[in-house]
Amino acid sequence: MINFSKYKDIIITHGLCSGLSIKMNVYIYLVDGLLFDTGPSTLQKDTAKFFSQQTIEQVALTHVHEDHSGMAHWLQKNKLVPIYLHSEAIKTAEKRGRYRLYRRLIWGGREPFYPQAMPKVIRTERYTFEAIEAPGHTEFHHVFYEQDQGWLITGDLYIGRKVVLALYEENMLQMIATLEKVLQLDFDTMFCSHAGVVLKGKEKMRQKLDFLTELQDKVRELRAKGLTDGEIDKIIYPKKQAIKTLSGGEWSSYNIIHTI
């Protein structure tokens, strides 16, 4: 866990989660008392210490996945702070998370917590963040836009320019529409939960959109020739993906092809 404040007023905490053969970075951002996502419970030893040392007045969750909300229960109990989440995800949050083994090993479980519906705008003393609906990675996902600073807190909307795997609940058509919407905004620096701080963020986000629309063209061409999505998947992603087996099919390239 490294804490640094390269960006004025933004405190960034970073941890590495690993389990099976999978390794994944997690970044958490604290801006002016507003915490964006909580990180998973597997990082509790470090994050609980970090949270205890910081002034946290409110928490905004991009979405309810356990690597973003795993410490929400702890924060609610120990810091007595309001936690904001997409209104449609509140019911899920109020129940204990149930996950397959690979997820429990990497991210850990998620205790129930009791969030409030996401307001349209979240204010801190110095900043104003607009909560923007951003479905695609999961249906109930927000990104947060600080117009004056050109910041976009992206949760799991970006992650990388190329998409080679998708979780079963991801939808690439929704993702394309969201990327088009977000690219209307005037931002420059992206704060991604897994890639960290991404400079020239808008350019990178556009590259992700280009990647997906080119892929969409290819898939449509092959579908027009009569190929099934399974056959198209094997042509476009010929490499065997270990995670597909490890995750019991929750992650696969087929999920990309099938929803684009």
Strands 121-123 and 128-133: antiparallel
Cβ neighbours of residue 26 closer than 8 Å, sequence gap 6 or more: 14, 15, 16, 17, 39, 40, 43, 67, 193, 194
Least distance in angstroms from the C-beta of 105 to Zn ion: 16
By CB atoms closer than 10 A (0-12, 13-18, 19+), residue 18 is exposed
Residue with tokens 């899920």: 92
Least distance in angstroms from the C-beta of 34 to Zn ion: 20
> Does residue 19 contact residue 102 with C-beta atoms inside 8 Å?
yes
Return the residue of 66, 111, 146, 156 that touches Zn ion, per CB under 5 A.
156
Q: Is the dihedral angle over the CA atoms 10, 13, 14, 18 positive or is it negative? A: negative
| SS3 label, residue 207 | helix
What residues numbered 191-250 form the site for Zn ion, per CB under 5 A? none
Nearer to Zn ion, 146 or 156 (CB): 156
> Does residue 12 contact residue 27 with C-beta atoms inside 8 Å?
yes
Strands 10-19 and 22-31: antiparallel
| Residue 65 near Zn ion by CB under 5 A | yes
Least distance in angstroms from the C-beta of 17 to Zn ion: 13
Specify the stretch interacting with Zn ion by CB under 5 A; choose among 46-54, 95-103, 156-164, 206-214. 156-164
Least distance in angstroms from the C-beta of 170 to Zn ion: 9
By CB atoms closer than 10 A (0-12, 13-18, 19+), residue 139 is middle
> Does residue 62 contact residue 153 with C-beta atoms inside 8 Å?
yes
Specify the stretch interacting with Zn ion by CB under 5 A; choose among 82-90, 115-123, 148-156, 239-247. 148-156
Query: Minimal CB distance to Zn ion: which residue?
Result: 65
Nearer to Zn ion, 146 or 250 (CB): 250
Least distance in angstroms from the C-beta of 32 to Zn ion: 25
Nearer to Zn ion, 156 or 233 (CB): 156
| Residue 86 near Zn ion by CB under 5 A | no
Nearer to Zn ion, 167 or 197 (CB): 167
By CB atoms closer than 10 A (0-12, 13-18, 19+), residue 191 is buried
Specify the stretch interacting with Zn ion by CB under 5 A; choose among 45-53, 88-96, 115-123, 155-163. 155-163
Specify the stretch interacting with Zn ion by CB under 5 A; choose among 21-29, 48-56, 63-71, 182-190. 63-71
Q: Is the dihedral angle over the CA atoms 140, 9, 42, 247 positive or is it negative? A: positive
Specify the stretch interacting with Zn ion by CB under 5 A; choose among 53-61, 126-134, 153-161, 180-188. 153-161
What residues numbered 17-56 form the site for Zn ion, per CB under 5 A? none
Nearer to Zn ion, 65 or 208 (CB): 65
Least distance in angstroms from the C-beta of 83 to Zn ion: 17
Give the binding site for Zn ion (CB under 5 A): 65, 156
